């Protein structure tokens, strides 16, 4: 069933560390051999062995219209035929900046980059330059790309500075990063009482999609907004995953809280390398060449990548798009919960817009510790049982899932049929 993937994986491991260009793709969390894909069409992927799958990873979020959308491909091909990159301003970057500032009222100006990591790294440097402060606050279980000072885990006990989670990151680089518990307003109050005037920025995943799927409480988000305003800290919503995924105005539109800066990625590139950061005009004015905070990029605003992003966003922002996507995603999680219930397997699922979380526990988790208490082994068995039956879920119990506009009744029925057998298998185990 996976012969070609196994052969390609063995060869790849000889010349690429772990055989992959991003660690989560290596299946280390779920075990087994990563699947090598040959092509994607709509909601479906085909691997090198010819196996077909309903895809719920969508390249970790970008493929919200489905794979190989014919109109997007046509626009990308036409853009490529006019030249791949100029390293000079183009009309397309203006069109993207105007679209983003119209869609997100908190974003008064925006700068394009080539990845989510670059967007968050740049936004945090900008916040430190704007405030003249150095302390950064993040939350355990949230991932904001692989910048040195963000590869940090909570120190021993709350209100202690982070320790590096990665080799190669000197302790002094994480010594100004404070790691708090997600969804704990009291801890935020305590941190601001102690460090408020030293905090340059708080960076938040406004729906945590890197510890599976955890929604913030309204009180948590509003506490962050109130305290950042009170003490002059920059509130950054990292919407790389939630931007144009949970709704037409991102998570800030869902929760009705405006950050000072927003970071974006994934959907805004439609599968091509585009990231962005933007927000309050007075903060963005600190960026080179206008202000003293340096930031740059050879392929920032690349015309072909921006074309893919614009073609995607125009369709995502069309009337009714999110109503339909949210309904499909809600039907998916309801159907899976129903199948699990029939099999008597402890399971819960939840969704927001086109993003969802699956949990082998009775109710969706509301904190990092509750996520860690989920039955990871049960998820891993479920993952492989679904994979063998042609359903591709994120290869980790700690990742969110994604639905596209190309997912319909046929894909849901195929998924429920596979889940019926997978849950029965889990029950037997």
Site for ligand KE4 in 267-326 (CB under 6 A): none
Among residues 88 and 167, whose Cβ is nearest to ligand KE4?
Answer: 167
Site for ligand KE4 in 163-192 (CB under 6 A): none
- In whole angstroms, the minimum distance from the beta carbon of 120 to ligand KE4 comes to 6
Kindly name the residue from 238, 260, 392, 398 that is annotated as catalytic: 238
- In whole angstroms, the minimum distance from the beta carbon of 99 to ligand KE4 comes to 19
Strand-by-strand arrangement of the 275-279 sheet: 109-113, 275-279, 261-264, 234-238, 199-204, 135-139, 177-180
140: left (phi over 0), alpha (psi -120 to 50) or beta: beta
Identify the residue among 9, 27, 56, 60 touching ligand KE4 (CB under 6 A).
Answer: 60
- Active-site residue flag, 153: no
**Which listed range, 137-145, 187-195, 244-252, 404-412, lies at the site for ligand KE4 (CB under 6 A)?**
137-145
Identify the residue among 2, 5, 24, 351 touching ligand KE4 (CB under 6 A).
Answer: 24
Site for ligand KE4 in 197-216 (CB under 6 A): 205, 209-210
- Active-site residue flag, 266: yes
Among residues 120 and 310, whose Cβ is nearest to ligand KE4?
Answer: 120
- 116 touches ligand KE4 by CB under 6 A: yes
Kindly name the residue from 47, 184, 266, 398 that is annotated as catalytic: 266
Identify the residue among 30, 107, 120, 284 touching ligand KE4 (CB under 6 A).
Answer: 120
- Active-site residue flag, 282: no
Among residues 117 and 307, whose Cβ is nearest to ligand KE4?
Answer: 117
Size, binding site for ligand KE4 by CB under 6 A: 18
- 143 touches ligand KE4 by CB under 6 A: yes
Identify the residue among 42, 58, 145, 164 touching ligand KE4 (CB under 6 A).
Answer: 145
- 261 touches ligand KE4 by CB under 6 A: no
Identify the residue among 57, 124, 204, 240 touching ligand KE4 (CB under 6 A).
Answer: 240
Q: Token pair for residue 167?
A: 């080799």
- In whole angstroms, the minimum distance from the beta carbon of 266 to ligand KE4 comes to 7
Among residues 60 and 423, whose Cβ is nearest to ligand KE4?
Answer: 60
Identify the residue among 55, 238, 260, 411 touching ligand KE4 (CB under 6 A).
Answer: 238
Place of tokens 């009775």: 362
Identify the residue among 117, 174, 183, 415 touching ligand KE4 (CB under 6 A).
Answer: 117
**Which listed range, 161-169, 237-245, 360-368, 370-378, lies at the site for ligand KE4 (CB under 6 A)?**
237-245
Binding region for ligand KE4 (CB under 6 A): 22, 24, 60, 115-117, 120, 143-145, 205, 209-210, 238, 240-241, 265, 399
Q: Cite the active site residues.
A: 143, 238, 266
């Amino acid at each position: 069933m996976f012969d070609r993937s196994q052969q390609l994986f063995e060869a790849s491991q000889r010349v690429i560390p772990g055989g992959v260009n991003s660690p989560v793709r290596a299946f280390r969390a779920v075990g087994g051999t990563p699947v090598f894909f040959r092509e994607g069409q709509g909601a479906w992927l085909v691997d090198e062995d010819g196996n077909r799958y309903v895809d719920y990873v969508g390249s970790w979020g970008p493929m919200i219209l489905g794979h190989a959308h014919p109109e997007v491909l046509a626009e990308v091909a036409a853009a490529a035929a006019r030249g791949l990159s100029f390293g000079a301003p183009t009309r397309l970057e203006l069109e993207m900046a105007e679209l983003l500032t119209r869609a997100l009222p908190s974003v008064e100006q925006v700068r394009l980059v080539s990845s989510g990591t670059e967007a968050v790294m740049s936004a945090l440097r900008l916040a430190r330059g704007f405030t003249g402060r150095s302390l950064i606050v993040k939350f355990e279980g949230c991932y904001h790309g692989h910048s040195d000072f963000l590869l940090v885990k909570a120190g021993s006990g709350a209100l202690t500075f982070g320790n590096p989670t990665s080799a190669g990151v000197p302790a002094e680089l994480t010594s100004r990063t404070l790691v708090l518990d997600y969804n704990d307003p009291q801890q935020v109050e305590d941190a601001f009482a102690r460090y408020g005037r030293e905090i340059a920025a708080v960076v938040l995943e406004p729906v945590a999609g890197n510890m599976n799927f955890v929604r913030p409480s309204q009180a948590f988000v509003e506490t962050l907004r109130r305290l950042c305003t009170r003490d002059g800290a920059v509130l950054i919503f990292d919407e790389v995953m939630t931007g144009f995924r949970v709704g037409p105005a991102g998570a800030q539109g869902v929760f009705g809280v405006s950050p000072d800066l927003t970071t974006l990625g994934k959907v805004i590139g439609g599968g091509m390398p585009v990231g962005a950061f933007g927000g309050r005009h007075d903060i963005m004015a600190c960026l080179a060449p206008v202000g003293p905070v340096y930031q740059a990029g050879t392929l920032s605003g690349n015309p072909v990548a921006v074309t893919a992003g614009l073609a995607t966003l125009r369709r995502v922002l069309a009337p009714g798009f999110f109503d339909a996507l949210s309904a499909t995603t809600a039907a998916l999680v309801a159907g899976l919960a129903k199948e699990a219930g029939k099999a008597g397997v402890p399971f819960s699922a939840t969704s927001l817009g086109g993003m969802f979380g699956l949990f082998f526990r009775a109710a969706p988790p509301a904190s990092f510790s509750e996520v860690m208490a989920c039955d990871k082994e049960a998820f891993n068995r479920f993952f492989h049982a679904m994979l063998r039956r042609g359903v591709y879920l994120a290869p980790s119990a700690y990742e969110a899932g994604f639905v596209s506009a190309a997912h319909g009744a046929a894909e849901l029925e195929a998924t429920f049929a596979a889940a019926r057998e997978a849950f029965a298998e889990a029950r037997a185990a």
